[in-house]
Homo-oligomer: A and B are copies of this chain.
Amino acid sequence: MNKIDLSKSVNHHIAISSIMIKRVFFKILNDNKLDITPEQWNVLYYLDKSNGMTIGELSKITFKDFANMSRISQKLENASFILKRRDEIDKRVFKLFITEKGQELNNQLHECAYKSTNIALNSLDDEAREMMIKNLKQIITNTGEFLNK
């Protein structure tokens, strides 16, 4: 019988950190009166880098459920931050495009993300940050392999 000690669990600390980081980002968004969620921002972020992605592509790159990405894109469309257009060739597919309004918002969101990063990572030096990313990538790979087999 292997009893877990959460106070020494990497998994547990990742979960708590994730909650806290999201809360900080949320607060900064609210303080700046930006009516958008971190998840919705993720979509704007990727569309800004590569306009015209499909819902399926976005759900993969953001590690989200197709169903949830479908709903997130609906909300962004209702708020006129993106446009959805049927693909001419493959009529099952929707392509998403960021609007002018979405672009402007996206720029403000980058500032907010930058602020929240600084708050969360305060006092972590570059080496620590790189080490974190390396290990977290390994965790993402490990879990991905388990889930896809």
Listed in ascending order, the chain A residues whose CB lies under 8 Å from chain B are 1-4, 6, 8-11, 13-25, 27, 42, 45, 63, 107, 110-111, 113-114, 116-117, 119-124, 128-129, 131-133, 135-140, 142-144, 146-147
Residues of B within 8 Å of A147, CB to CB, are: 20, 23-24, 27
A65 and B27 CA atoms in complex are apart in Å by: 15
Copies of this protein in the assembly total 2
A21 and B19 CA atoms in complex are apart in Å by: 13
A1 and B114 CA atoms in complex are apart in Å by: 10
A111 and B45 CA atoms in complex are apart in Å by: 39
Q: Apart from A1-B110, A11-B120, A11-B121, what are 15 other A-B pairs with CB-CB below 8 Å?
A: A3-B110, A4-B117, A8-B133, A9-B113, A10-B120, A10-B129, A10-B136, A13-B136, A16-B63, A17-B136, A20-B140, A21-B143, A24-B146, A119-B146, A120-B139
A11 with B117: in contact, given A6-B45, A110-B3 (CB under 8 Å)?
Answer: yes
